[in-house]
Amino acid sequence: MKRLALLFALVALTPLRADLLGSLIKITPATGWTRDGPTEAAQEEPAFPTLRYVPKDGRNASIVLTLLPITVAGFTITNHASLERFNLLSARPYLANPDDEPPIPTVLDIANGIGVSITNEDPALIGKPVPPGEYRMATSASVLLGRKYLIQCTIFHDEKDSAELRQALDILLSATVKATTPSLPSSAI
């Protein structure tokens, strides 16, 4: 019986297996989340390496992470200011009115990188129940790792500062550059 208890303790203390985003970035799912197909049903396959995670217990949330080249949308992301501009471009589809003043981005604390996020609420769902297959909130987050790798992430959830949002951010902030990867140009993505 002691051996069985020891085996369970070892399994519980073993870190979760990391998934690879492309061949360069390791992502560790949060406890209680599972890897799903890279897109929702009826969406096109992504053009760049993409991972998607959802809560195992069926809570209404998901996180989609995509590895992009650092030169996108006509400019190169090299610092905090350019990352904020890119994040705003990525968040624009989720803004209630794209002509309004955008929300101030939140700075994300990530090892060996810089990150920002913007959270928007669907104005059509304010004060209403969330229909199946929809989300009340979309958080667009952009991370520049090692000044070479750009991760664009969208977190879909229903409540501000929810457990689902915090867990999804933990997944994003787990991103690290694979240690055994030789130095590759970002164009090799």
Q: What is the dihedral of CA 44, 46, 51, 52, to 10 degrees?
A: -30
What residue spans define the domains of the chain?
A: 17-180
Q: Could you list the pLDDT tens digit for every one of the 189 residues in the chain? A: 444 333 333 333 334 588 999 998 999 999 999 999 865 554 567 789 999 999 999 999 999 999 999 997 678 999 999 999 999 989 988 888 877 777 889 999 998 899 999 999 888 888 889 988 899 999 999 999 999 999 999 999 999 999 999 999 999 999 999 875 455 555 555
Fold of the domain spanning 17-180: Jelly Rolls (2.60.120)
Q: Are 117 and 105 contacting, i.e. CB atoms less than 8 angstroms apart?
A: yes
CA distances from 72 to 23, 35, 87, 101 (A): 20, 27, 11, 23
Q: For position 65, what pLDDT does the model report? A: 97
Q: For position 12, what pLDDT does the model report? A: 39
Specify the DSSP class assigned to residue 171: H
- Measured in whole angstroms, the distance separating CA 16 from the mean position of its chain's CA atoms is 17
Q: For position 103, what pLDDT does the model report? A: 83
